[in-house]
Structure 1
Amino acid sequence: MAPIQVRPAEPRDEADMAVLHHREWGGPYVVVHDTRYDLRELPALVAVDGEGELAGALVYRLADDGLEVVSLVAAAPGLGAGNALLAAAEGIALAAGVDRFWLVTTNDNLAALRFYQRRGLRIVAVDVGAVDRARRLKPAIPYVGEDDIPLHDELRLERRLAATPRPQ
């Protein structure tokens, strides 16, 4: 199996990314920390396999408070796309001189919590009722999530990076 390669998303990736985002989020919109994002309007990285097929996509937001992973979706688990995408996004954060790498997941997403914690991210906050509030902006968010766990809260995970200060 050829290694996963990561590159910035290009217009030719839009259709494949749309399929992943529809499968994972029901479309291009996600609501996180009381903010509605259109994944098509943010920078993205894609992971491609040895055949050149899309293996995953990571959408992010870079700001003074760090690099936020807004969406991370793998076409299939266990192929290394998630690892490769996170490593590439961390490289972007370091190059930008930010020292915080963070994301939000939901209380039901045990697989994601396991995945992120194994990669050094730590739970730093729980926003009780955040998903309940998000339903006002995106009513399609289900009430019951993975493993039949009621879906109510957001968990913020982060890792501090050894970034060099940004030039003034």
Structure 2
Amino acid sequence: MAKPANAKTKDAAENKDAVQLILKNRKLHHAYAVVESFEAGMVLMGSEVKSLRAGDVQWGDCHARHENGQLWLYGLHIGEYRQAGTFGHQPVQPRKLLLHRKEIDRIAAKLATKGMTLVPDELHFRRGFARIVICLASGKDRGDKRQDLIKRAMKRDVEREVARRVKNG
């Protein structure tokens, strides 16, 4: 049986909305208490986009700052694209983040409070554009990290006990 005429366009539309994950900050939730997260676009050169698609990117000491009414991303290392030749880019340079004015103002107000920072969570492509999820977070102290480890261990023990009881009947 043949597919309806609009089935191909429907599949293509679903594919466009799919998120292609490039990089995830796995240490974020261990080191920071996340308050709020935002998805932002980035101003990139063509060679930077090619390197991102190839997966040649590292967080390093990546963070974002609010300067002159704009958000800038610092410390993101995007490797050089070999085929770019002389038209390449610098691997580590400040990159402008694209958000709505209201979001930037809200972030700036929250960054003014003591202990708040902007940390990247993940880097992905959605609808063909590179996007970064940045989180407004405060650093955890040693005690908070220990409490998280204890909670995780207790949860794991409970799950293990439940699984054992289910198995033994």
Q: Tell me if both proteins adopt one fold, taking TM over 0.5 as the criterion.
A: no
TM-score between both structures, scaled by the size of structure 1: 0.29
Structure with bigger RCO (C-alpha 8 Å, 6+ apart):
2
Q: Which has the larger radius of gyration?
A: 2
TM-score between both structures, scaled by the size of structure 2: 0.29
